[in-house]
């Protein structure tokens, strides 16, 4: 006779579903300024607790407080705010363009703007990002031409990628933005390899890998951690935890215990958790980890705690799986509002300047859109040639492709 009860499979569920009251009481949010700041050469053993806390700079009164504050001048913080406003305006325009049938697909970074925008500012020229599809802020906060991003989204005759890639899968070597794959997590381990090459060559450039909470479940995440820690690669490994992987809540990728940042502990990797909606905190943590990598002190794992305010993509409807009010209830607030309030509190900004800047950016985006549309949209106007479809598969076109191009009549 066995005294064992039949086993039961545990399947995690989010706290709430559509129709329920949003509930983030389970998200433990420490006070701004309360998390200490280790020296960059400190042993990861000394600050393991930072993987379970949240590094925050902006408090509820919009003051910048604690050991991670005071890193940006007024001017730099204003640029940060402008960068976030620009990418939000860009997203809004392109989302509408998709709704108008001008392209097939779009993905916003609504609510997550601080992460890519602030991280970009902490990098140096020649560093390389291996982004996911939600880091357009890495491009829009440089002087990369917005019109070229639109041309790519439209797959028009001026698309830098000649219509070969799904909208938003940008690529720019010059701007340190590796070609977005669309397959999840594959780029994370490539970032580690890029960084290893930098070390092999004796260079001083570093790499940044990007991944979402959901795709940390991929084996490529584990591979990345193994290679990065074994070879102490000069790489910053960024997990954007926006709570949702399409319709799947983050508990499916990691269960109920620990945090994504804590996954670094098994690899002896410095692991930090940061308020992803706090531009100043993101910048400070990015700067810390990038400096660490460039000083040959090895990789850092960072989890940005944020919330995906919009749908996963234009093909998604979140009202089917989460309460509509959940976004507003997100306890870390909106990154733009928070930095704006901080700059006003600091006497470096005003409501008027904010309204004017927002209007100016929206007008610039609109202007760029008009220019881009002169080169066509997905279904009308100038388009990449069918001949281009056969180019660039290999460096030199092999005989079989030459024959197929002929067969296609181009």
Partner 1 sequence: MARMTMIEAIRDAMDVVMSVNENVVVFGEDVGYFGGVFRCTQSLQEKHGKHRCFDAPINESGIVGTAIGMAVNGLRPCVEIQFADYMYPAYDQISQEASRIRYRSNGEFTVPMTVRMPTGGGIFGGQTHSQSPEALFTHICGIKTVVPSNPYDAKGLLIAAIEDDDPVIFLEPKRLYNGPFDGHHDRPIIPWSKHPLGETPDGHYTVPLGKAVIRRVGQDVTVLAYGTMVHVAEAATEETGVDAEIIDLRTLAPLDLDTIEESVRKTGRCVVVHEATRTSGYGAELSAIVQENCFYALEAPVTRVTGWDTPYPHAQEWAYFPGPARVGAALKRVMEAS
Q: Which residues bind partner 1 (CB under 8 A)?
A: 128, 130, 160-162, 164-165, 169, 171-173, 178-179, 181, 183, 186, 189-201, 207, 219-220, 223-224, 226-227, 230, 392-395, 398-401, 403
Distance in angstroms (rounded) separating the CA atoms of residues 154 and 160: 11
CB nearer partner 1, residue 179 or residue 248: 179
- Return the bridge partners of 238, or none: 210, 302
Smallest distance from partner 1 to CB 190, Å: 4
Smallest distance from partner 1 to CB 185, Å: 9
Smallest distance from partner 1 to CB 384, Å: 10
Smallest distance from partner 1 to CB 214, Å: 17
Smallest distance from partner 1 to CB 9, Å: 26
Using only C-alpha atoms, the chain has a radius of gyration, in whole angstroms, of 22
Smallest distance from partner 1 to CB 231, Å: 8
CB nearer partner 1, residue 344 or residue 389: 389
CB nearer partner 1, residue 162 or residue 287: 162
| 196 neighbors 130 (Cβ within 8 angstroms) | no
- Concatenated DSSP letters of 253-306: HH-SSS-SGGGGGGGT--EEEEETT-HHHHHHHHHHHHHHHHTT---EEEEEE-
Smallest distance from partner 1 to CB 45, Å: 22
CB nearer partner 1, residue 195 or residue 365: 195
Distance in angstroms (rounded) separating the CA atoms of residues 18 and 4: 37
CB nearer partner 1, residue 107 or residue 128: 128
Smallest distance from partner 1 to CB 291, Å: 20
Cα→Cα distances 154→105, 148, 206, 258, 265, Å: 9, 10, 32, 42, 43
| 263 neighbors 255 (Cβ within 8 angstroms) | no
| 190 neighbors 221 (Cβ within 8 angstroms) | no
CB nearer partner 1, residue 198 or residue 377: 198
CB nearer partner 1, residue 69 or residue 196: 196
Q: What is the DSSP pairing of strand 248-249 with strand 244-245? A: antiparallel
Cα→Cα distances 122→202, 268, 401, Å: 21, 24, 44
- Our CA angle for 209, 214, 220, nearest 5°, is 50
Smallest distance from partner 1 to CB 250, Å: 23
| 168 neighbors 160 (Cβ within 8 angstroms) | no
- Which residue do the tokens 């989460």 mark? 322
- 365: DSSP letter: H
- 160: DSSP letter: T
Contacts of 82 (CB under 8 A, 6+ apart): 357, 361
CB nearer partner 1, residue 80 or residue 163: 163
CB nearer partner 1, residue 55 or residue 206: 206
Distance in angstroms (rounded) separating the CA atoms of residues 349 and 340: 7
């Amino acid at each position: 006779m066995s005294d064992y009860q039949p086993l039961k499979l545990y399947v995690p569920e989010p706290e709430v579903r559509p129709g329920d009251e949003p509930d983030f009481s389970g998200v433990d949010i420490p006070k701004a300024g309360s998390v200490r700041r280790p020296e960059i050469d400190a042993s990861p053993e000394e600050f393991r607790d930072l993987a379970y806390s949240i590094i925050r700079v902006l408090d509820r009164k919009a003051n910048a407080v604690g050991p991670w504050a005071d890193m940006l001048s007024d001017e730099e913080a204003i640029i940060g705010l402008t960068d976030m406003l620009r990418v939000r305006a860009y997203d809004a325009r392109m989302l509408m363009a998709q709704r108008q049938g001008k392209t097939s697909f779009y993905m916003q970074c609504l609510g997550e703007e601080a992460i890519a925008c602030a991280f970009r500012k902490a990098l140096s020229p020649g560093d390389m990002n291996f982004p996911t599809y939600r880091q357009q802020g890495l491009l829009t906060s440089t002087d990369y031409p917005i019109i070229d991003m639109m041309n790519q989204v439209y797959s028009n005759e001026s698309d830098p990628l000649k219509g070969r890639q799904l909208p938003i899968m940008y690529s720019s070597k010059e701007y340190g933005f590796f070609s977005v794959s669309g397959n999840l997590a594959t780029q994370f381990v490539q970032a580690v390899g890029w960084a290893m090459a930098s070390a092999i060559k004796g260079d001083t450039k570093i790499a940044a890998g990007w991944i979402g909470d959901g795709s940390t479940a991929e084996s490529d995440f584990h591979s990345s951690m193994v290679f990065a820690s074994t070879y102490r690669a000069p790489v910053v490994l960024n997990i954007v935890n926006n709570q949702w992987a399409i319709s799947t809540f983050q508990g499916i990728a990691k269960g109920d215990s620990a945090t994504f940042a804590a996954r670094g502990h098994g690899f002896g990797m410095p692991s930090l958790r940061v308020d992803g909606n706090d531009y100043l905190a993101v910048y400070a943590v990015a700067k810390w980890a990038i400096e660490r990598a460039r000083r040959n002190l090895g990789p850092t794992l960072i989890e940005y705690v944020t919330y995906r305010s919009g749908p996963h993509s234009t093909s998604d409807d979140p009202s089917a799986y989460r309460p509509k009010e959940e976004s507003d209830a997100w306890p870390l607030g909106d990154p733009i509002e928070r930095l704006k309030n901080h700059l006003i509190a600091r006497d470096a900004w005003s409501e008027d300047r904010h309204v004017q800047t927002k209007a100016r950016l929206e007008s610039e985006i609109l202007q760029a859109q008009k220019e881009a549309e002169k080169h066509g949209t997905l279904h009308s106007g100038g388009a990449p040639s069918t001949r281009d479809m056969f180019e660039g598969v290999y460096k030199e076109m092999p005989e079989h492709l030459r024959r197929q191009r002929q067969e296609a009549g181009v």
